[in-house]
Structure 1
Amino acid sequence: MVDETLARDIDAVCRLTGEFTLRSGQVADTYFDKYLFEAQPALLDRVAAQMLDLLPEDTELLGGLELGGVPIATMVSAKTGLPALFVRKKAKEYGTCKLAEGPDVAGRRVTLVEDVITTGGAVRDATRELRAAGAIVEVVVCAIDRSPAGDNPLADVGLEVRPVLTRAQLDAAAAQA
């Protein structure tokens, strides 16, 4: 069930219009600047609270993707008691040389936590790397899924996307404002 108040508040805080090049290389006229809601503790808390029911029951670790997924995963971790894992875009080239900072992932069920998904490129990369390290990765929860309605951009890697809000829900909230 959509929290329409949350949709309106997120939309009001982070919708930007103009011309934006996305990570995927696509050019968009609307951009959702997740850092604008992640920087507000009360709003970040509300997003994290909505994620709780989206988590698979067998989740063992929460994998927050660098950079925007990290504060959300941390907040969800605090609410659930599940350990957080911080997943880099690429493994460190010094020290431990790890891609994922935190507990060992081998044989464990990791639910990825992301801020905004359009094509899922960063999530796809992280999924492949974590699976190569022995993790079981089947679900990603995200604050905003801006991919086309009914389209799972991560189907090619067998990943289920569970969003708090979709682009369509944010557009509906903007239309009511």
Structure 2
Amino acid sequence: MTDHRNRFLQLALRAQALRFGEFTLKSGRQSPYFFNAGRFDSGAALAELAGCYADAIDAHAAAHDQPDFDLLFGPAYKGIPLATALACEYARRGRDLPVAFNRKEAKAHGEGGSLVGAPLGGRRVLIVDDVITAGTAIAEALAIIAQAGGEVAGIVIALDRQEVVDPAVSRRSAAETVAQEQGLPVVAVASLGDLLAFTGTSTEFAAQRERLLAYRQAYGSLGAA
């Protein structure tokens, strides 16, 4: 497991963005873990998280020569601070990137519209978000960017749960479905597979491994096996 994945999981546990227990998800599934990026709620945590994102993006680019992007887009709401923090991290590394995000409801006064920040027209846009669950939020972001004249270069998320949306329809995860249907790279800072590797080498969290394995057996995508 690469360093940024290990750092991210340790950070998520410290911030309680990643917790173990019994959680009922929106899908109704009983999950042995829960991830909430909203718990990265301090400047220090966001700065460290942004470093993990940037390392994941740069590692993917080095291995696959992609994604090539020149603007960061944060879908409302959790994507907004994530894209902003990532822009600050890249500026710290010497790369000044424009940032944009959307409003859930268009503004009728002032500058108006549903977009805030740098113009998207003619830009290669990297979407920055926390997770992909059903793919609905990403589909909305893709439509917004296309309508504004931008081209999506890729998507980066914090955690890929690597689980199927509907086992009766497909054994692909939501992230895999978006990547294949849209022809876009989806980069995850860490995945369920990484979490399993992490718990397997940690005495503190080793007891969680069997429950995670059982959950992956029941709901994991083919890519997670």
Structure-2-length-normalised TM-score: 0.66
CA distance in 2, matches of 1:72, 1:51: 14
User: Which sections of structure 2, spanning at least 5 residues, go unmatched?
Assistant: 165-171, 203-225
- Deviations along 1:74-116, one digit per CA (max 9) or x if unpaired, are 122122310111133x342422443321122122211101112
Task: Using the TM superposition, give the Cα deviation of residue 132 of structure 1 relative to its aligned residue in structure 2, in angstroms.
Answer: 2.2
Look up the match of 1:12. Answer: 13
Residue from 116, 120, 136 that aligns with 2:131 = 116
More strand by share: 1
**Higher Rg of the two aligned structures:** 2
Task: Using the TM superposition, give the Cα deviation of residue 163 of structure 1 relative to its aligned residue in structure 2, in angstroms.
Answer: 1.0
Task: Give the secondary-structure state (helix, strand or coil) at the position aligned to 2:126.
Answer: strand
Look up the match of 1:142. Answer: 157
Task: Give the secondary-structure state (helix, strand or coil) at the position aligned to 1:99.
Answer: strand
- Give percent identity, aligned residues only: 27
Task: Using the TM superposition, give the Cα deviation of residue 42 of structure 1 relative to its aligned residue in structure 2, in angstroms.
Answer: 4.8
Look up the match of 1:105. Answer: 120
- Deviations along 1:24-72, one digit per CA (max 9) or x if unpaired, are x453412111122353245324323324404646312100122222222
Say if 2:46 and 2:85, in contact at 8 Å, map to a contact too. Answer: no
Task: Using the TM superposition, give the Cα deviation of residue 171 of structure 1 relative to its aligned residue in structure 2, in angstroms.
Answer: 2.8
CA distance in 2, matches of 1:97, 1:175: 51
User: Which sections of structure 1, spanning at least 5 residues, go unmatched?
Assistant: none
Say if 2:156 and 2:186, in contact at 8 Å, map to a contact too. Answer: yes
CA distance in 1, matches of 2:139, 2:190: 20
**C-alpha spacing 1:116/1:21, structure 2 compared with 1 (3 Å):** same
CA distance in 2, matches of 1:68, 1:31: 16
Paired residue type of 2:78:
G
The higher-RCO structure (CA 8 Å, 6+ apart) is 1
- Taking the TM superposition and a 5 Å limit, the aligned residue runs for 1:54-69 are 54=60, 56=66, 58-69=68-79
**C-alpha spacing 1:174/1:94, structure 2 compared with 1 (3 Å):** farther
Say if 1:7 and 1:169, in contact at 8 Å, map to a contact too. Answer: no
Look up the match of 2:85. Answer: 75
**C-alpha spacing 1:97/1:171, structure 2 compared with 1 (3 Å):** farther
More helix by share: 2
Look up the match of 1:87. Answer: 102
Number of residues of Structure 1 aligned to a counterpart in Structure 2: 174
CA distance in 1, matches of 2:193, 2:48: 20
